[in-house]
Every structure is written in C-alpha cells, then in structure tokens.
Structure 1
Amino acid sequence: MRDLFTKNMFAQNSDLTVLRLGREDVLKMTEKISTLSMQVSKHEGFYPNINDWLKKRVLPGIKNQTRVAYLGLNNGKPVASAILKLSSDAKICHLCIDHSQQNRHLGDLFFSMMALDAKRKASRIHFTLPERLWLEKREFFKSFGFCEARKTRRQYRPTKDEMVSSVGFNIMWKNVLEKLPKIINALTPSNESIFNGILMSIRPEYIRKMQAGQKVVEVRKRFSTKWLGCRVTLYSSSPDQAIYGYATIEKIIKDTPRTIWTQYGDLIGVEKKVFDDYSGSSNQIYAIFLKDFKTYLNPVYLSHLSYLLNGRCPRPPESYISLEHNIDWSRAVSIAELLHNRFWLYTTVI
C-alpha cells in the first residue's frame, strides 16, 4: 500500500516532534512555554490583544486543564503551534504553521491531535479565522467536516472579517478516522510504513523478553518471506490486549524445527518443551528475526482503541495480519502512532 500518499523518490527526511504542553509546563514556566509565547507573539500585528489573551486566558487554562497547547519542532526548531479549548463546545483557538512547512500535512496532523484531545468532552467543535483563509483552505476544512462558515459576531481582527465554522464533534471525528492512515503514512519514513507491514500477536511474557533483549526471534508455522524488511507492529495478547511497540523483520529462515532450535534456540526465548509443543508435527517452520524493537510511550490498550474507534473493536489475529486491507487495525495502529508522536517531514530535493 505504498501510494496512500506518494513520496518523491528524491526525498530528505527530517525529524518532527510534536510537544503537548500541560499543567506542569505552566507551573514551572518551562522553555516550551517561552517557545509557545514567541510563536503566538508573531501574530500581534493581526491580533493586538493576543499576548494578553495568552497570559490571562491560555496559560491559566493550561494550568487548570481546560486548554491544551502544542508545539511542532522540526529538528528542534519551532515550526508550528496550536491551542485547543476543552469543553462540550470545543474551540480550536490557534493554529499556525510556518510558510516553509506548509503543504506537508501538518495541518491534518494538528487537527487530528486536537480532535483526539477534544473527544472526551466535546459534542461540538468550532474555530474562527479570516474570511480570506477560509476561502483559500476551504477544501482542507471540508475534509474534516467543516463545510460552512458565517461571519462571527465577535471580530478579533480590527480590519478583516472574521468567520466562524462549527460542526458536530462526531462528524469531525469520523473524518479524522478516515483520514488518519493517510496522514500517518505521509509522515512516516517509507521503510517504516505501517501499511506495508503486519500486526503480530505475541504472548505478554514474550513481549517482556523482547523488551529485555532476551528474545529476538519469533517462530511461526505459517508465514511468508514477502514480509522481509517490513515493519511489524507488536500486539500483546490476553490479558494485556494492547499494542506495545514495533520492530523490523530483519531475516526469515524456513527450516525443520530441529534445525531452527539447534541454531537459534537461545534467541527464541522459550523453553525447549514449549517450542516442541508449538512445532508439533510440522515438517518446517519459520524463524522470524526482529531488529530495532521499540516500545510506544505507553501501551495502547484495546479497550481504549475501541472507545476511540467509536465502538468498532478490531479483532486481534491469532497469528498475524496484513494491515494493507484491514481498515480497523490500520486506524487503530494510526492512533497508536499519533499518541506516540512518531513523525517525519519530507522535503523534495531538486
């Protein structure tokens, strides 16, 4: 599934980090708050009272957890900022992306992240913006369900007409879920693409051994060498029922159980009896070598995914599944990536 969004073959990638600013940042007045202030202050010419708004509304709101702020850093340099007001009628208060970083799906990414934070409370969500920007970016806003705008009663800019657009939150979230796999694919290195790979079920005790570096080979009775070099998302089966992380399939060897155990038994991370019971009467099995195992910041539990997927709980595979045509698991893993803030930017080289 390499063409959800086509990437230029002469692309350079750069590290994008999205920081979520919370209560502790305000209490300690961290560097992130200073960076946010500088980003917001750039708009003082258009919004004369914006610095007062930041100090009197935004920072207290972050402190009492009625607002959330975000920073986008490209190789450590601030390139985007956003502010969300949390309530039953949530508001996207601020979103700014540097001109040099536009048309790289950052708007999609920040809208999706804000929707993720708004979901717990919001029944509606809205934003205000200049009429010119609404006309220029109307197709972008429509892709999230914002199809209409009207002149707002309260004008924030002294010289330009300000518009307001509002939509039921469920409509926005439905569009986020539909768009999210494409967004994540566009912001993921092609050699780590979720959608070219698989999701594999592994018992919790073996996930722990992978985390400890005591298991680097997984054994399967049925597999395919076509997955060589692909990304594997690791699902910890019951009782965990959670996505824990991901790895890359480095090597695949098909041989007799006896040969596999003799050569690689110390890398499989199970007792010989467990291995023999699993292999059974199979003439040949697959040894799947995993490298670059990484865990997510926190496990992403199936119960949480079911809530975020509007009750559509994806069914875990007994062994593994391709993510290419599995919509529910593609969306579920996309949410895990969104929560993990694992993104890259792509720049065309001429």
Structure 2
Amino acid sequence: MKDLQIARISARDAKGVSDHLMNLRAIVCQKEDTYPGIDKWFDKRVVGGLSAASRVAYVGYVDGVPAAAVIVKLGLDTKLCHINVRPDLRGTGVGEILLSLVTLEAKSTASSMHVTFPESLWSAKNGFFTSFGFSDVQRAKKQYRLFDEELSSRTSFSNIWTSVLKKIPKLAEKFSLAGASMSGGVLFSIRPEFGEMIMRGSKTVEIRRRFSKAWKGQRAVFYAGEPTGALLGQADIVGVHEGSPKNIWKRFSGRIGCGLDYYNDYVRGCESVFAIELNCVSPLMEPVYSSVLSRYTSRALSPPQSYVALTDQQGWSEAVSISAMLQCLHKRIRVFENAVHHSATKPKFPSTKIAAECAPTCWYSELDLFEQGGESWGSPHNTTK
C-alpha cells in the first residue's frame, strides 16, 4: 500500500452525488450476491441518512482506487451498518482507524453500539470485533444473507470507547496528523499570544530557562494557557541552543517574538538559557479545549508549568492523539505508508498545505490530516444494514 486516502462522506456529497458517494455505493454493492437488493437499501436508506446527517460514512482509496468503507447510523443505539476493507489491506490498520473514527463521531449521542455480521466472518475474525468490545454474540432477528447465518452483537458505548482509548497508543505510533507524529515529543505550556504567533509562523524560536538538547528532532505540541486553555498545534524542534541570555538574544532576538524588557524579565538570574528553533508548524483546524479533552479521556488534565514529555502518565499523550482525531470529523484524510512531513491549517492561520495530488475528481480542498506506517488487521468484507 503506497498511498491511502480516507474521505468523510458528508451531506454535501450525498446531495451533490459526488464521486466519493458513487465510490461508496460501488463498494457496498459488491455484496449484491449475498445481499439481494442492497443497492436499493443504499440509494434509499444510506443516501437519505447521509443527506440528513443521521448516517456517517468514510471511503478509503489506495492509489486512487476505492478499497475500504464504513457506514454508521447515529443515534442512542448507534449501528455499525457496513465495514468493508479489501482483503489485501488487512494488516494495515485501516479497519481500526475507520472504526475508531466513526466511534468518535458517535460519542456525543450514543449510549450503545451494535453490529450484525455473517457467522463466517465472526469465526474468522472475531478478534477484531472483540477488541472493540463486541463479545456478546447471538443470532440476529433479521437474516439478510442467503447462505450465511446473520449474527448480532451489542456493547455499551462506554465499553467500545474504552477499547478505542486502549488502541490510541498503538494507532498513534502508526498515524500522524499532517506529517507530525501523534506519539512522543514534548508538550509546552505557552501564553496564548505567543502560541498564536508560533502557529502563524511569526515566532520561530521559543526560549526556556531549562531544557535539553535531546529534544532536537522531536515534535513540540503547544498548549495555550488561560484564558484560552486549549491545544493549538505542533511543530518540529529543529535546533536546541544553549548560551548566555545576552548571546541568545543577540542571535535570535528577531525570531523570539517579544521585546527586550520582557525577555530580560524572563531570563533574570539565569547564567544560560535555551533557544528552541521550530519549523514545520502544523496548527490544528480549531483549538481543542482542555475541558473537551477531559470529557474524552475521562481525566482531569492539568497543564505543565513549563513542559512535559508526551510519554507521561498524566493523560496528555492520549489527549493529544484524540485532538488529532477530532480534526478528521469534517475533513478529508490522506494516509501514507511512510511518514513524510506536511503542514495542516487552521481557519484563522495562513494556509500552509492543501492536498491536491492523487485525488479523485470531486476532492474538495482536503487537508492532509493523517499519515500512516505500520500494521494491524483491517476488517474484511462485512456488510450490515
């Protein structure tokens, strides 16, 4: 797999009959032999649900060819209606990221989630479904397939969400937001005005009284303190320089983003300080507030005084990964087998990267959101109504 793109199918796609919608239909209708009339179900139920925003779908493309899809019907008891990943994509993590994304979509409304699947699929790949909490399986009331008994499973949403949270560290090692890793690195607390300057690119050097040159080559994630209280985005640490306050100011004053008086107040009493050079800034589409992240992680998130490694046990590593996933709910996603650095945008910041190449004909100004390199099983052809 060289190039995987995942597109969220929106109401606009359904109402405009976009290429993405037609590609979703083609994937679903591959199961016509075992689901007679599935085309009619798609045209009436799925398209109508997408138009009304009561259903959500994603389509995955490999080298421009539709190869994976997932559809859910949102509600108090959300239904996983369809998940279909081409057999040669098993072991790429496609199934896990698709199901994690739709689970994230359902979190605000669902108290449970259910799915139906053929007995043959359960026998072959029950490990995938049980890893998401679908372990209680029984014969489905409705039998859709001609030659394979339909089974059903339901789990509480808290159960499936706990499963997703457990998967996040593994997914974070394989996927990245706009080319910047979702795992590892360092989280900085920063004044909101300085954070915005970094996201805009007008501040490219951050000063700290204490730091380590070992962080060179790692990512830096920025949390704006009060009154903002939100994650803003991330950047690459391309250099860490230690020197006297006087020499650091002489060398980097034009890139620090503050006046000499403010700088002197900050470094007063220090024999040496650290200048942290930043590059490849990736602002989040919108700031993700700590109150929101606390609800998703079920943790009270306390920002660090200065910085903290994102391998900590305080919940920030998990929170940063979730903030990356939250950007995907209304955006297109590009996924690559090997991580390459790009930049994302946030509406109030200057655009730095728009995905244009290798795109279907109806690809609307998508942003590069996820990159991938790694392996884990993706669910095979599974269709439920």
TM-score (norm 1): 0.91
Paired residue secondary structure (1:282): coil
1:111 to 72, 95, 99: 99
Which residue does the alignment assign to 2:156? 168
* One-letter identity of the residue aligned with 1:330: S
Does 2:311 correspond to 1:324?
Answer: yes
Match of residue 253 from structure 1: 241
Cα gap change, 1:75 to 1:280, in 2 (>3 Å): farther
Task: Output the CA distance in 2 between the equivalents of 1:272 and 1:337.
Answer: 36
1:135 and 2:123 correspond: yes
What is the alpha-carbon distance in structure 1 between the residues aligned to residue 324 and residue 169 of structure 2?
A: 10
Partner of 1:8: none
How large is the RMSD of aligned CA atoms in angstroms?
1.8
Name the residue aligned to 2:255: 267
Cα separation, 1, equivalents of 2:88 and 2:327: 25
C-alpha distance in 2, partners of 1:251/1:51? 56
Deviation, structure 1 residue 20: 1.6
Q: Which runs of 4+ in 1 moved over 4 A?
A: none
Q: CA deviation at 1:306?
A: 1.6
**1:314 has 2:295 as partner:** no
Q: Judging changes above 3 Å, is the alpha-carbon distance between structure 1 residues 309 and 347 closer, same or farther for their aligned structure 2 residues? A: closer
CA deviation vs aligned residue, 1:106-158 (integer Å, no higher than 9, x gap): 11111111111111111110100011111211122121111121111101111
2:155 corresponds to 1:183: no
Q: Could you report, residue by residue, the CA deviation over 1:7-30 in whole angstroms, capped at 9, with x for unpaired residues?
A: xxxxxx844432221212222222
Q: What code does the residue aligned with 2:110 have?
A: A
Give the counterpart letter for 1:37 in structure 2.
Answer: R
1:232 equivalent among 196, 199, 220: 220
Structure 1: unaligned runs, 5 residues or longer: 1-12
> Once the 2 structures are TM-superposed, how far is the Cα of residue 220 of structure 1 from its aligned partner?
0.3
Query: What is aligned with 2:336?
Result: none
Q: Secondary structure at the match of 1:128?
A: strand
Q: Is the 8 A contact 2:115 2:154 kept in 1?
A: yes
Q: 1:24 aligns with which of 12, 21, 40?
A: 12
Specify the code of the residue in structure 2 equivalent to 1:346: G
Is 2:371 the partner of 1:344?
Answer: yes
- Indicate the structure with greater helix content: 1
Q: 1:226 to 1:15 in 2, by over 3 A?
A: farther
Residues 218-262 of structure 1: CA deviation (Å, up to 9, x unaligned)? 000011111110011121221221111111100000001100001
Q: Taking structure 1 as reference, are residues 313 and 333 closer, same or farther at Cα in structure 2, changes over 3 Å only?
A: same
1:217 & 1:347 partners in 2: Cα distance? 33
Counterpart secondary structure, 1:219: strand
Which structure 2 residue ranges, 5 or more long, are not aligned?
Answer: 329-368, 376-385
Residue 51 (structure 2) pairs with residue 63 (structure 1): yes
Find the counterpart in structure 2 of residue 335 from structure 1. 322
Distance 1:347 1:221, change over 3 A: closer
Q: Report SS of the residue matched to 1:42.
A: helix
SS of the equivalent of 1:196 reads: coil
Q: 1:205 to 1:347 in 2, by over 3 A?
A: closer
Q: Give 1:327 deviation, angstroms.
A: 5.2
Contact 1:185 1:194 in 2 (8 A): yes
Aligned to 2:270: 282
Q: Which amino acid aligns with 2:306?
A: S
Contact 2:70 2:99 (8 Å CA) reproduced: no
2:25 corresponds to which residue? Answer: 37
Structure number with the bigger relative contact order (C-alpha 8 A, sep ≥ 6) is 2
| Residue pairs, 1:39-54, within 5 angstroms | 39-54=27-42
Letter of the 2:102 partner, please give it: M
Q: Residues 36-86 of structure 1, C-alpha deviation per residue, up to 9 Å, x if partnerless?
A: 112212221221111111111011111111111111233443221110001
Counterparts of 1:93 and 1:251, CA distance in 2:
49
Residues 300 and 278 of structure 1, relative CA distance in 2, 3 Å threshold = same
Q: Which residue does 1:6 correspond to in 2? A: none
Task: Give the share of equivalent positions with the same residue, in percent.
Answer: 35
Q: 1:207 to 1:347 in 2, by over 3 A?
A: closer
1:187–1:87 CA distance, 2 compared to 1 (3 A): same
* Alpha-carbon shift at residue 296 of structure 1 (Å): 1.6
How many angstroms apart in 2 are the aligned matches of 1:198 and 1:99? 38
Contact between 2:34 and 2:145, CA under 8 Å: does it hold in 1? yes
How many residue pairs match? The answer is: 334
Distance 1:278 1:42 in 2: 64
CA contact (8 A) 1:247 1:292 kept: yes
* Matches of 2:100 and 2:172, distance apart in 1: 10
